[in-house]
């Protein structure tokens, strides 16, 4: 028997915002993404609901090390004695030694807020981490899970192709698909959060996922998507706009420190217009409260790349 269970991690106390997935095949289990330490009891409860124990977990898989995907990895692994972490080559070092990741996130959130959101993130022994190269695979029961590297959102991102269910677990590489935004048709948005956004690579990742011809994809944000071609077309169109905002920001006369606000304002105007055409969702304050974090992070990511390019151009001009 092969089964996929969507687990609502209630990240930031928001329902249907961030998911983890439990894959079960013939009594063996794997988790895909795990959110934060606060979500781990939910993951273990989902396991128990299927009549399984933590000893039945073979793989703790993280699509990338952003903390809404991988913040609970050490806590979950401690509960699952037979499991190994499966990670992208560029992600593995941050799992084994999370000090840089913790320091960076603590600087963004402040130590008190970081502790509230993520708790303690412990190092994971190297012998419990397995690096998954592009097109490598592992077995789960009688099923095969294959890994494809998908840069663009993050340089340390991969997706997981479940050959048995003809599904792909896409992390953030296939965008964000919140159930509350699905009105008279699909509404998807990309994630361009700091610090690795690359427009061409992000579009390539989407096309590579589509080329697998899956029956469904499972983005971490949130739940199964079946209208894959339409979602891909929409995401690529949005990515085109995001990339243009980044290029426009790079070319403005605004000081570097003003670019984040510039990018965020452009994105707010863009999505407000789209949502007004989508069942008039753009007029609902609750929708904007829900989207505020993603639009803010997307603007920060675009501004970061615009500033990085400016700095490189200045250095080249001065040399």
- Predicted pLDDT of residue 282: 56
- Predicted pLDDT of residue 275: 84
- Predicted pLDDT of residue 114: 87
Q: How confident is the model at residue 118 (pLDDT cuts 50, 70, 90)?
A: very high
Positive or negative, the CA dihedral 191, 197, 198, 199 is: positive
- Predicted pLDDT of residue 288: 79
Q: What is the pLDDT of residues 192-202, one digit of tens each?
A: 999 999 999 99
Residue 148's beta-bridge partner residues?
159
Per-residue 3-state assignment (H helix, E strand, C coil) for the chain: CEEEEEEECCHHHCCCCCEEEEEEECCEEEEECCECHHHHHHHHHHHHHCCCCHHHEEEEECCCCCHHHHCCHHHHHHHCCCCEEEECHHHHHHHHCCHHHHHHHHHHHCHHHHHHHHCCCCCCCHHHEEECCCCCEEEECCEEEEEEECCCCCCCCEEEEECCCCEEEEECCCCECCHHHCECECCCECCCCCCCCCHHHHHHHHHHHHHCCCCEEEECCCCCECCHHHHHHHHHHHHHHHHHHHHHHHHCCCCHHHHHHHHHHHHHHHHHHHHHCCCCHHHCHHHHHHHHHHHHHHHHHHHHHHHHHHHHHHHHHHC
Q: What is the pLDDT of residues 49-65, one digit of tens each?
A: 999 999 999 999 999 99
Q: How confident is the model at residue 1 (pLDDT cuts 50, 70, 90)?
A: confident
* Average pLDDT of the segment spanning 160-188: 93
- Predicted pLDDT of residue 283: 56
* Average pLDDT of the segment spanning 257-263: 97
- Predicted pLDDT of residue 278: 74
Residue 24: pLDDT over 60 = yes
Alpha carbon separation from 160 to 21, 89, 133, 150, 157 (Å, rounded): 11, 14, 12, 10, 10
Task: Judge contact between 4 and 165, C-beta under 8 A.
Answer: yes
Torsion angles phi and psi, residue 281, rounded to 5: -65, -25
- Predicted pLDDT of residue 281: 64
Instruction: Pull the structure tokens for residue 266.
Output: 């452009």
- Predicted pLDDT of residue 286: 75
Q: How confident is the model at residue 230 (pLDDT cuts 50, 70, 90)?
A: very high
- Predicted pLDDT of residue 280: 67
Looking at every residue in the chain, the average pLDDT score rounds to 94
Residue 175's closest CA among 231, 96, 127? 231
Full set of structural domains in the chain with CATH: 2-231 (3.60.15.10), 236-318 (no CATH)
Cβ within 8 Å of residue 197, ≥6 positions away? 152, 153, 242, 246, 301, 302, 304, 305
Q: What is the pTM of this model?
A: 0.95
Instruction: Pull the structure tokens for residue 133.
Output: 């190269």
Cis peptide before 27 (omega within 30 of 0): no
* Average pLDDT of the segment spanning 222-229: 96
Torsion angles phi and psi, residue 262, rounded to 5: -60, -50
Q: How many Å apart are CA 86 and CA 147, to the nearest integer?
A: 10
Q: What is the pLDDT of residues 102-117, one digit of tens each?
A: 888 888 778 898 888 8
Residue 120's closest CA among 64, 81, 73? 73
* Average pLDDT of the segment spanning 136-140: 98
The count of other CB atoms within 10 Å of the CB of residue 56 is: 18
Provide, rounded to the nearest whole percent, the portion of the chain with pLDDT above 70. 98
């Amino acid at each position: 028997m092969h089964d996929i269970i969507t687990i609502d991690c209630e990240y930031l106390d928001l329902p249907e915002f961030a998911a983890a997935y439990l894959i079960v095949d013939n009594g063996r289990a794997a988790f895909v993404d795990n959110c934060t330490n606060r979500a781990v009891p939910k993951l273990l409860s989902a396991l128990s609901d299927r009549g399984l124990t933590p000893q039945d977990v073979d793989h703790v898989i993280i699509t990338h090390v952003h903390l809404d995907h991988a913040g609970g990895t050490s806590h979950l692994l401690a509960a699952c004695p037979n499991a190994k972490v499966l990670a992208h080559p560029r992600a593995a070092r941050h799992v084994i030694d999370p000090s840089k990741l913790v320091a960076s996130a603590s600087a963004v959130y402040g130590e008190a807020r970081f502790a509230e959101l993520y708790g303690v993130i412990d190092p994971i022994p190297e012998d419990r981490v397995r690096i998954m190269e592009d097109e490598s695979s592992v077995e789960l029961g009688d099923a095969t899970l294959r890994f494809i590297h998908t840069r663009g959102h993050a340089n340390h991102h991969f997706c997981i192709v479940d050959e048995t269910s003809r599904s792909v677990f896409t992390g953030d590489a296939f965008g964000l698909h919140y159930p509350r935004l699905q009105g008279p048709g699909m509404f998807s948005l990309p994630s361009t959060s700091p610090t690795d956004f690359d427009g061409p690579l992000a579009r390539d990742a989407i096309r590579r996922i589509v080329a697998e011809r899956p029956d469904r994809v499972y983005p971490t944000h949130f739940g199964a998507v079946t209208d894959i071609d339409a979602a891909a077309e929409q995401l690529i169109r949005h990515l085109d706009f995001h990339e243009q905002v980044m290029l426009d920001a790079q070319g403005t006369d605004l000081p570097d420190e003003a670019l984040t606000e510039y990018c965020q304002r452009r994105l707010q105007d863009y999505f407000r217009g789209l949502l007004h055409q989508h069942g008039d969702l753009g007029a609902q304050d609750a929708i904007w409260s829900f989207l505020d974090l993603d639009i803010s992070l997307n603007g920060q990511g675009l501004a970061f790349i615009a500033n990085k390019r400016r700095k490189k151009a200045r250095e080249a001009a001065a040399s």
